[in-house]
Chain A
């Protein structure tokens, strides 16, 4: 049987978790000032992957009542064996972060501020801009009369932040629209 290291640690944990300070001859009244259980106790464990460098460290997310409460390295990932660097260690802080954009934002031409808009407005307006550009600038043939079927006036950058599956659908849809000026962080 292939006992995972994570499983092994949990087995150990189960045996010792009940030993509170009181069992160790310490004044319980004082000792209770300390957390008697881990903040992650009872949380669901979900495996994710660190979104920084390509070491690809697997990370365990601890999720309680749908809330992401803590994270740490996954000992079952043979490359990292559960360890993480500074950025990986901040995986939770990266996600649960007050600086994040959580609503679609729109900036009108000439405006000096963002305005919150709903997704319907954003999708329909962007689709219109895209179709207008495509209908206006799509090139079936180049100057030499060769068939090129492309759109020269729209570009797409990013992203290495995308999953493989996201990349696959992105490339599929862009090439269908005739957008070929595509690039991402592979070059910077």
Chain B
């Protein structure tokens, strides 16, 4: 039975404990940022930022809504990135059947920049980022080291309000349904995002479009070319494999 996250944004205070805990656990160095008129920093996910609180603010009819979105990899059941990577170099991206964690291995270093880009566009949530220094494709790995040792991921451990939860998928689905029923009373538009397809389930209180560009599933080659076999997909993508296989 895979594991799942439940990120209940109705409880998030954007304290960014998760964002920092992730960096700390992964020993990620700080990146240089600038103040540009928003609290969201760094501006986007990156090779040293697998977890990021996205901030959006709106003046609604009766009140201000400041929406916080603790962004991370969704650990899809049928990960588009893996499908893309398999077409290039099988084994570069793997999926742990025990946890459902989608894991990027050292083999992703063998991708060219363009191939890495091809894999990125396969992700409906725009999560993967290539580390320009090492060439490795990077993102959240569910803190697989911690999970194997019986602990929760660093971000979940740190969360102070119960926004982030982690456990057996069934338990998280149950918790999600309970929370949703409660949150809906205050926020009628509340919903669980793509709960059937992903292991990182977001509970949002407003229309998902309001959170950020990729809070919605985007069209990917995977969805465009659904049903194609590997060869067909590759030729559809039109990307050579010579460099890798040689």
Number of A-B contacts (CB under 8 A): 102
Q: Look across to chain A and name the residue whose beta carbon is closest to the beta carbon of B27.
A: A39
A13, A36, A41, A84: the one contacting B17 at CB < 8 Å is: A84
A41–B16 CA distance with the chains assembled, in angstroms: 26
Tell whether A84 pairs with B21 under 8 Å between CB atoms, given A13-B150, A41-B149, A72-B158. Answer: yes
A88–B98 CA distance with the chains assembled, in angstroms: 32
CB of B96 within 8 A of CB of A85, answer no
CB of A17 within 8 A of CB of B149, answer yes
A158–B17 CA distance with the chains assembled, in angstroms: 28
CB of B150 within 8 A of CB of A9, answer yes
Q: Look across to chain B and name the residue whose beta carbon is closest to the beta carbon of A27.
A: B91
CB of A26 within 8 A of CB of B94, answer yes
In the complex, which residues of chain A have a beta carbon less than 8 angstroms from the beta carbon of B106?
33
B147-174 contact mask (Cβ, 8 Å, vs A): 1 or 0: 0111100100111110000000000000
Closest Cβ–Cβ distance, residue B1 to chain A (whole Å): 12
Interface residues on A, range: 35 or more
Which of A12, A15, A41, A73 has the most B CB atoms < 10 Å from its CB?
Answer: A73
Q: Look across to chain B and name the residue whose beta carbon is closest to the beta carbon of A12.
A: B150
CB of B160 within 8 A of CB of A83, answer yes
A16–B96 CA distance with the chains assembled, in angstroms: 15
In the complex, which residues of chain A have a beta carbon less than 8 angstroms from the beta carbon of B182?
none
B91, B150, B161: the one contacting A30 at CB < 8 Å is: B91
B17, B98, B105: the one contacting A89 at CB < 8 Å is: B17
A36–B146 CA distance with the chains assembled, in angstroms: 9
Closest Cβ–Cβ distance, residue A50 to chain B (whole Å): 11
CB of A86 within 8 A of CB of B145, answer no
Interface residues on B, range: 20 to 34
Closest Cβ–Cβ distance, residue B101 to chain A (whole Å): 9
- Flag whether A178 is at the interface (Cβ < 8 A): no
- Flag whether B187 is at the interface (Cβ < 8 A): no
- Flag whether B66 is at the interface (Cβ < 8 A): no
Tell whether A80 pairs with B150 under 8 Å between CB atoms, given A26-B97, A30-B105, A89-B20. Answer: no
CB of B19 within 8 A of CB of A86, answer yes
A2-38 contact mask (Cβ, 8 Å, vs B): 1 or 0: 0000000100111111011101111100110111111
- Flag whether B141 is at the interface (Cβ < 8 A): yes
In the complex, which residues of chain B have a beta carbon less than 8 angstroms from the beta carbon of A41?
149
Closest Cβ–Cβ distance, residue A23 to chain B (whole Å): 8
Which of B19, B97, B150, B161 has the most A CB atoms < 10 Å from its CB?
Answer: B150
B15, B148, B158: the one contacting A19 at CB < 8 Å is: B148
- Flag whether A58 is at the interface (Cβ < 8 A): no
CB of B150 within 8 A of CB of A89, answer no
Closest Cβ–Cβ distance, residue B243 to chain A (whole Å): 20
A109-135 contact mask (Cβ, 8 Å, vs B): 1 or 0: 000000000000000000000000000
A20–B146 CA distance with the chains assembled, in angstroms: 12
CB of A73 within 8 A of CB of B148, answer no
Tell whether A82 pairs with B150 under 8 Å between CB atoms, given A30-B105, A35-B145. Answer: no
Closest 9 CB pairs of A and B: A13-B150, A83-B160, A12-B150, A89-B20, A89-B21, A86-B16, A24-B98, A16-B150, A85-B15
Q: Which residues on B are within 8 Å of A, measured CB to CB?
A: 15-21, 24-25, 27, 91, 94, 96-98, 103, 105-107, 141, 144-146, 148-151, 154, 157-161
Q: Can you list 6 A-B contacts with CB-CB less than 8 angstroms, sorted by A residue number?
A: A14-B150, A33-B106, A80-B160, A82-B157, A85-B16, A86-B16
